[in-house]
A and B are shown apart, each in its own frame.
Chain A
Amino acid sequence: MALGSANGNRAEGATTPLMSWKNNLRALLVDASSTCRIIGKAYLTSYGVETEAVENGEAAFDLIYMGASFNVIIIDMHMREMNGAQCARRLRTMGVQSRLLGMSTSYREHEQHEFLAAGGNGFIQKPLHPSKFVPILQELDNN
């Protein structure tokens, strides 16, 4: 478990995060489902990660253009207007250096190859669960 100072940006009345990190970890969730965005954001926030959630690739690009930066961007692989690979490719073209993870309940192999070829780093399976994202956060925090 990573030790260090607790995440500085905590909302008034929020409870203490379940884990604390050396660095100020920031995550962006890109997911068309509002149910998944709420759950994903609640999970990551409860683990001390400052999290934003948007519903599609365009909204993610807008945030980046406005100067936001993230340690990790988790991208729904099967959004309507663009898939995970298309989103990843555009983010890399914009100069985004964040860890890019494709998220889905299940994958076809060609989809995974496409995502990695587009500049993605790896995958995380939906539904989000601490056992899946904590190791990733620990790795990010240690780099």
Chain B
Amino acid sequence: MAGVPQLQKRLVDYTASLFHEGVLDEQFNQLQLLQDDSNPNFVVEVVSLFFEDSERLLNDLTKTLNQQDVDFNKVGANVHQLKGSSSSIGAQRVQRVCIAFRNYGEEQNIEGCLKSLQLVKHEYAIVKNKLETLFKLEQQILAAGGIIPRS
């Protein structure tokens, strides 16, 4: 069982790798500033909300794009929401894929939209997995009686 210093180092290194890979950007760090004693689980709560929102939006987009008559207004509105929420939590690669998605939607290009949808789902799965791992590491540190290192 790793001691607290090793767990802390693991967390710091893991977090750094997420920034290095562009999965997260500075906005994610900014969220930490909103977490304090009166709001101790703010980041986890907001990220959980982001997961819920995103899954709903992705399901909606899948349904909409598989209709006979695609409602591109609905596609546009959902993509905008996904772009906005991913930017707000710092999910940089998800946000980036939404840019092309938005353009395809405006051009009413179904092929492009379907391709973008696949890419977004892929990037979303990555950021979800990585953030869940990050939160698990934090929990391990707390369970071992340590504090979470903040940059």
Contacts and interface: CB of A to CB of B under 8 A. Distances in A.
Contacts of B89: 35, 39
Given A33-B53, A38-B46, A39-B31, A15 B38 contact: yes
B49 A34 contact: yes
Interface residues of B, number: 30
User: B interface, by DSSP: helix, strand, loop or mixed?
Assistant: helix
A129 interface: yes
Contact of B88 (A14, A39, A46): A39
Interface string B71-112: 001101100110111011110000100010000000000000
Interface residues of A, number: 26
A52 interface: no
Interface in A103-119: 104-106
Interface string A1-44: 00000000000011100000000000000011111101110110
Contacts of A129: 27, 30
Interface of B: 27, 30-31, 33-34, 36-39, 42, 45-46, 49-50, 53, 73-74, 76-77, 80-81, 83-85, 87-90, 95, 99
Interface of A: 13-15, 31-36, 38-40, 42-43, 46, 76, 78-80, 104-106, 126-129
